[in-house]
Amino acid sequence: MKNSTFSKPKTIHWTIKSVGQLLIIAFFLFSAQVSVLHAQASLSIQGILKKSNGVAVEDGTYNITFKLYTLQAGGTPIWTETQSGVEVTSGIYSTILGNTTALNVPFNQLYYLGVTIGSSEMTPRIQLTSAPYALSLIGVTNQFPSSGLVLADSIKVIGSVLARGGAPGLNGANKNGYAFSGNSGDKDSGLFSTADGKVALYSNNTEVLAVTPANVAVTGAAAVSGNVSAANLALPNGGKVTYNGLSDWRLVVDDNLIGGANGWNVYNALSGQYIGWNNSSSAGAAPIEGVSSNFAGLYMYPTDNNQVLKKFFDLSGVGAFTFIKVKFKFYFIDTWGWGGNDAGWAAFADGANGSQMRVGWHILPNWLNATGDFNTTEFHQANNFEGNGNTDHTDFSMNAEMTTFKSGNSFWLYFGGALDEDTNNERYGVGMIEIWVR
């Protein structure tokens, strides 16, 4: 049987011997109800007891046994209940099956009801049939036609369960996806599909996590108590990593000179000055030296040692920050330090004219020479990567950095040297420039 309620009354006649006389029992299946929500299933029936002459039996109480079978004849009952003292008035009785013995059959196939008064079961058995309203559950859509909740202690699904796609809507008004109620919830938190190939987790009608074949996107903060493993971790502009509330440095500019001078220019010294720190007029793009084959990398350099390398940077598109850090590699070519009068430096400024220039890094290096730090001519010849190839000194470079408080989203970077010889004997260079913020 597929449903749990029954159609119009149906009369069945049994012939039995009881108390030495024949009785004719007219039996009506009146209605049935099956409840699985915290209640015992029950089946309501009504019947008529008549004598063989068609007259109703005397008023009184009778003992009746009811049995359910899966076969119309023969077989073993799958459920049995004996009810004592069933009241009969004018031959009519009404009772509810399942009152004394739990009606724990699944109602997922056809069942036949057998009735016994005395020692013999009446024949034939009556087939349990559907009530008209129960038929509304069998159709093309298999949808419940009315509103309200359908609840069960447990649900077992063989196959798949489908839900309508779309966002939940405020308080679940759209009736899409899989939402949750209870916990003071308003039915707009749960799992939803808002586009083909997309599954989204919503909390209070707000998408907080979306999964597609391409990626997993999280909106808002994600707290992870275990380890996070990823082949690549891409942060958008303004994205940051924090440690116990403290932000880490973020790389926002990688000025590696691979594409050329990339906006770097040289500035000559003004009249009466030694270096071009406050000249606002460019003398042209900075030359680039490519020496990547011997681990030195790419670096830019001035054509005269009194020239300063300058470039303007605007970080307004990288998100909020308070501090700026510049990392770079500074190159010392040829006879640096000969006599102790050579220096290299880097600075921040507000403009090309030296406005608010602040030196953030400075060095007075010792050169690598044959009688001091390194004592073989072969070492210097092997280590030289640029310049005139002298055997009593060698070219070298060092990683450096400088930091500052932010005074705005834009600034200038300066690199320069204070050298006592011309570029034939010594010069400086700068490369691998990175700008970090936090």
Q: Quickly state the pLDDT bin for 15 (edges 50, 70, 90).
A: very low
Which residues is 326 bridged to in the sheet? Answer: 402, 435
pLDDT at 325: 98
pLDDT at res. 393: 66
Is residue 65 exposed (0-12), middle (13-18) or buried (19+ Cβ within 10 Å)? middle
For residues 207 and 202, what is the distance between their CA atoms, to the nearest angstrom? Answer: 4
214-245 pLDDT tens trace:
888 888 777 778 887 777 777 766 666 776 67
Name the more confident of 4 and 309.
309
Tell me how many helices (H) and strands (E) the chain has.
1, 28
pLDDT attached to residue 1: 36
Please give the CATH architecture assigned to the domain spanning 254-437.
Sandwich (2.60)
Res. 34 pLDDT band, cuts 50 70 90: very low
CA–CA gap between residue 264 and residue 300 (Å, rounded): 9
Predicted pLDDT of residue 376: 58
Q: List, for residues 163-189, the tens digit of each pLDDT value.
A: 888 888 887 788 888 888 777 767 888
Specify the length of the chain in residues.
438
Please give the order of strands across the beta sheet that includes 265-267: 284-285, 265-267, 308-314, 410-418, 343-349, 358-363
Nearest residue to 194 (alpha-carbon basis) of 172, 211, 215: 211
Residue 10: per-residue pLDDT: 38
Q: List the chain domain ranges.
A: 12-133, 162-219, 254-437
Calculate what percentage of the chain has a pLDDT beyond 70: 75
pLDDT of residue 159: 79
- The CB density around residue 124, as the number of other CB atoms within 10 Å, is 12
Q: pLDDT digit string (tens) for 319-375?
A: 889 999 999 999 988 778 765 678 999 999 999 999 999 999 999 887 665 555 555
Write the pLDDT tens digit of every residue in 84-136: 999 999 988 899 998 889 988 888 789 999 988 888 888 888 888 876 556 55
Residue-level pLDDT at 16: 38
With 90 as the cut, is the pLDDT of residue 251 above it? yes
Give the Å distances, CA to CA, from 70 to 103, 106, 186.
Answer: 14, 12, 45
Query: Which fold does the domain 12-133 belong to in CATH?
Result: Immunoglobulin-like (2.60.40)
Rounded to the nearest integer, the mean pLDDT of the chain is 80
Query: Of 203 and 430, which is predicted with more confidence?
Result: 430
Cis (ω within 30 of 0) for the bond into 124?
yes
pLDDT at 7 over 60: no
Is a pLDDT exceeding 60 seen at residue 31? no
257 three-class SS: coil
CB atoms within 10 A of CB 200: 21
Q: How far apart are CA 165 and CA 177, in angstroms?
A: 6
pTM tops 0.95 = no
Average pLDDT over residues 368-397: 63
CB 176 within 8 A of CB 167: yes
The H or E element that residue 28 is part of is strand 21-28
Question: In the structure encoding, which two tokens stand for residue 291, read together?
Answer: 């020496």
For residue 152, the tally of other CB atoms under 10 A from its CB is 9
